[in-house]
Amino acid sequence: MGNTVLDVKNLLTQYYTNGGVIKAVDDVSFSIPKGQTVCLVGESGCGKSAVAMSIMGLIDGGSGGIKNGEILFEGKDLLKLKKHELRQLRGNDISMIFQEPMTSLNPVLTIGGQIMEPLMEHELISKKEAKKRALELIELVGIGRAEEIFNSYPHQLSGGMLQRIMIAIALACSPNLLIADEPTTALDVTIQAQILDLLRSLKEQRDMSMLLITHDLGVVAEVADYVIVMYAGKVIEEGPVVELFKNPKHPYTKGLLKAKPVINQRQEELYTIAGQVPNLATLTPSCYFSERCEQCMAICKEQMPKINDLDNGQRVACWLYEEVTTV
Amino acid sequence: MESSAVTLEKNKKLPRSSSLWRQIARRFLQNKMSLIGLAFLIFIILFSFIGPFFSPYVNLGVDPTNINQSPSAQHWLGTDKLGRDVLTRLMLAGRISLLVGLGAMVMSVVIGGVLGIISGFYRGIVDQIIMRIADVLMTLPGLPLLFIMAAILSEWKVPTEYRIYIVMLMLSIVGWPGLARLVRSQILSLSERQFMQATEALGLRDTRKLFKHLLPNIIPLLIVSGTLSVGGAILSESTLSFFGLGVVPPDASWGNMITSANSLLDFQKRPWLWVPPGLAIFLTVISINLLGDGLRDAIDPNMRRR
Ligand SMILES: Nc1ncnc2c1ncn2[C@@H]1O[C@H](COP(=O)(O)OP(=O)(O)OP(=O)(O)O)[C@@H](O)[C@H]1O
Ligand code: SF4
Ligand SMILES: [Mg+2]
């Protein structure tokens, strides 16, 4: 237990939509060891954000809810905590960075005021002390002119700078776990690389654990220790980053890796996985990927494959690999 | 108040970048009509509050030897049927009408703002209760409601010096529901914004979310609707007072000044009795609306009156 920061067990999160109740996160289990970066990848709509929101307790009761499972953070089940206990953890021991830095900051408050907030809330320090810490944090995330930035408003800064500010806010109380939901998607490519570098080096410095959500396999290759691939609300493959990239097992993961453009290696045509993500409201017991799978078999249409351990630490949910463990 | 302090500090340190409030000021100053409105309001305020100090008739009151005089060098706007100087009474009435309008606005903004914020932020059953009460008050037409309340209150024989507070209170009872609805819908839409989700993720307590994050965002709305509601309040007060249900003599208000010209003879032959207060009401209300519209356009060019 001492080595695991976050342990998610059998998480089931539903959303109520016009088309019916959907399982945005369906029986998902994974854990994040201390000091490691776990990447959650998958196509748009597969439930990555839903996982993050479930951990943070941000699923709005009107539109959905967590129906089953445990989310153990340092041994405590977040789902069983009282409201004020959860509040004391959030922004303090667990922080989150959102996809859109432009909309994640309050437009009418100064940058400095917003960095000071979690400090004053959780560390109960004076305004003066908080300001000093905020200025240090602005320096820490690689922006100069800290005084000037402190007093400016969000609309005066660029997207890249705002995302640095978001990182400063998230790190203000030195969390043990940082959840970053597509932190670079809204930024242009050169800035993306800088932000990733920043996140990676801060993570190293502070011995933090990180859950990084992305659909960019380039990002995964750069920062991940461990990769979890999601499809239609389920984990279909996971493993240490080197093994998974070298030797992907699930046809979907193989497709994803083939679809990734490789620099200096021009392919005739970019590979794409044919077909679309299934409608989550009308799923039947089957392999959810079967519609698009080139190796689909009869059983795939009738029964859902379970996730199984392979010898090298990888786990995969696909009928192709069932006999490896059963026979 | 919080945000203006921030602005001042900021203007010192970042002189080149234009702050939100500066942009607002610049946009406001470009709007001719609202500047005219503001100028007239400043004039009418000085006229009502400073003017009486220059009038020789303030303490004179009733003068039976000097009734119904037409305008002259001594009495620029003539005298009324009790021999009082109309110009002086117009100033004194202005004090009361403006105070009642302002007081009613402050009360509506406080009641409507607080209830609207509570409704939008906590939702659920509290929201239901507050909004149903607001609905009921809004479906009842305003003036008849005021008349009924005023008639009931007249029965209670409230001393005349407290009368104006009662009028303020009545006007704010009619005024808060609209404001509460506006504030509530603004809070609801702000709550959907990602920065409010971010405050939740930061583990901020409700008071911080309410006062630091939501309130500054609705201040423009409060300023604009508050300003516009002053005009409505002055108009309603005048109507009530005209019918003898609002501010009652010997206190003067523009509304009850017009009442004293209620005979056909006064109407036809003595226009100095009713034209000045009528014009004062008309121009003041128009000016307030011009100012309010100008503020709205300056603060948020996208915010249009619904
Ligand atoms: N508030 C909501 N109400 C109803 N359905 C929702 C809501 N939020 C998400 N969903 C649905 O839940 C599923 C998972 O959404 P989620 O946002 O977790 O996907 P994602 O993997 O983060 O995708 P993206 O890469 O586009 O961010 C989607 O089918 C989505 O339509
Ligand atoms: S279970 Fe069958 S359909 Fe699903 S990925 Fe494996 S082979 Fe393809
Ligand atoms: Mg997402």
Is A183 near chain B, with CB under 8 Å?
no
Higher per-residue pLDDT: B117 or B2: B117
* CA pair distance A242, A224, nearest whole angstrom: 9
d(CA B74, CA B156): 41
pLDDT of residue B45: 94
C-alpha pair distances (Å), B239 with each of A302, B226, B258: 77, 20, 10
Decide: A277 in ligand 2 pocket, CB within 6 A: no
Asked if B16 is an interface residue toward chain A (Cβ–Cβ < 8 A), one would say no
Q: Average pLDDT over chain A, rounded to whole?
A: 89
Domains, chain A, ranges and CATH? 4-93+173-326 (3.40.50.300)
Nearest CA distance, A201 vs chain B (angstrom) = 22
* Separation between Cα atoms, residue A23 and residue A15, nearest integer Å: 7
Which residues of A are less than 8 Å from B194 in CB distance?
A: 98, 100, 103-104
ipTM reported for the complex, 2 dp: 0.85
Task: Name the residue of A296, A308, A310, A321 whose CB sits within 8 Å of the most ligand 2 atoms, as the mutation to test its pocket.
Answer: A296
What's the mean pLDDT in B20-39?
86
Q: Which of A108, A117, A148 sits opposite B13 (nearest CB)?
A: A148
Contact list, B200 vs chain A (CB under 8 Å)? 56, 58, 90
Distance from CA of A147 to the nearest CA of B (A): 9
Strands A76-77 and A64-73: what pairing? antiparallel
B12, closest residue in chain A (CA to CA): A151
pLDDT at A42 over 80: yes
Q: Cis peptide leading into A305, omega within 30 of 0?
A: no
What are the two backbone dihedrals, phi and then psi, of residue A214, each rounded to the nearest 5 degrees? -160, 160
pTM metric for this prediction:
0.81
Interchain contact, A156 vs B17, CB within 8 Å: yes
In A271-310, the DSSP E strands lie at: 308-309
- B259-263, B271-275, B276-280: range with highest mean pLDDT: B276-280
CB A58 within 8 A of CB A87: no
Q: How large is the C-alpha radius of gyration of chain A?
A: 21
Lowest mean pLDDT among A154-163, B50-59, B115-124: B50-59
Is B15 an 8 Å CB contact of chain A? Answer: no
- Which residues in chain B touch residue A153, judged by CB atoms under 8 angstroms apart? 19-20
The pLDDT, as a whole number, for residue A261 is: 64
Least CB–CB distance from A152: residue in B17, B198, B217: B17
Provide, as residue numbers in chain A, all residues whose Cβ is less than 8 Å from the Cβ of B202.
Answer: 90-91, 95, 117-118, 121, 169
Of A3-7, A229-233, B75-79, minimum mean pLDDT range: B75-79
A chain contacts of residue B193, beta-carbon cutoff 8 Å: 103
Select B20-52+79-301's CATH number: 3.40.50.920, 3.30.390.50, 3.40.50.300, 1.10.3720.10.
Answer: 1.10.3720.10
Q: How confident is the model at residue B3 (pLDDT cuts 50, 70, 90)?
A: very low
Per-chain mean pLDDT for chain B:
83
Residue A33: closest CA among A272, A209, A290, A154: A209
Query: How do beta strands A315-316 and A234-240 pair?
Result: antiparallel
Q: What is the mean pLDDT of residues A40-46?
A: 91
CA–CA distance, A42 with A108 (Å, rounded to integer) = 35
Tell me, yes or no, if B157 comes closer than 8 A to chain A by beta carbon: no
Residue A67 has pLDDT above 50, yes or no: yes
Q: How far is A105 from chain B (nearest CA, A)?
A: 5
- Asked if pLDDT for residue A113 goes beyond 70, the answer is yes
Q: Is B198 on the interface with A (CB under 8 A)?
A: yes
Give me the pLDDT at residue B8, please.
Answer: 39
Which of these, A183, A203, A213, lies nearest to A38 by C-alpha position? Answer: A213
**DSSP per-residue string spanning B149-207:** HHHHHHHTT--HHHHHHHHHHHHHHHHHHHHHHHHHHHHHHHHHSHHHHHHHHTT--HH
What is the residue whose two structure tokens read 């249900």? B245
The distance from CA A286 to its chain's CA centroid, rounded to whole angstroms, is 26
Q: What is the dihedral of CA B224, B226, B232, B237, to 10 degrees?
A: -160
Q: Which residue has the higher pLDDT, B66 or A99?
A: A99
CB A181 within 8 A of CB A44: no
User: Under an 8 A CB cutoff, do B203 and A107 touch?
Assistant: no
**Which residue type is seen at A206?**
R
pLDDT score of A239: 94
Round to the nearest angstrom and report the end-to-end CA distance of chain B.
27
Q: How confident is the model at residue B15 (pLDDT cuts 50, 70, 90)?
A: very low
Mutate to test the pocket of ligand 2, among A229, A284, A287 (most ligand atoms within 8 A of CB): A287
The neighbour count for residue A165, using CB atoms within 10 Å, is 25
Token pair of B174 as six digits: 């009619």
DSSP 3-state of B29? helix
C-beta of A169 in contact with ligand 2 (< 6 A): no
pLDDT digits (tens, 9 = 90+) for B188-219: 999 888 999 999 999 999 999 998 899 988 98
**Which amino acid does the sequence have at A218?**
G
The residues near A227 (Cβ < 8 Å, ≥ 6 apart) are A38, A39, A41, A220, A238, A239, A240, A241, A244, A245
Task: Judge contact between A165 and A176, C-beta under 8 A.
Answer: no
Contact present, B303 and B224 (Cβ < 8 Å): yes
Q: Residue A74: left if φ>0, alpha if ψ -120 to 50, beta else—which one?
A: left
Given a contact cutoff of 8 angstroms between Cβ atoms, the answer to whether B62 and B83 are in contact is: yes
Calculate the alpha carbon distances from B123 to A56, B130, B138, B187, B285 in Å: 22, 10, 20, 10, 36
Say if the Cβ atoms of B202 and A91 lie within 8 Å: yes
The ligand that comes nearest to the alpha carbon of residue A251 is 2
Greater confidence, A272 or B228? B228
Question: Tens of pLDDT along B120-177?
Answer: 999 889 999 999 999 998 888 878 888 888 787 777 777 777 888 888 888 898 889 9
Best mutation site among A249, A320, A321, A322 for ligand 2 pocket (most ligand atoms within 8 Å of CB): A320
Dihedral (CA of A17, A19, A21, A26) sign: negative
Residues A91, B203: C-beta atoms closer than 8 Å: yes
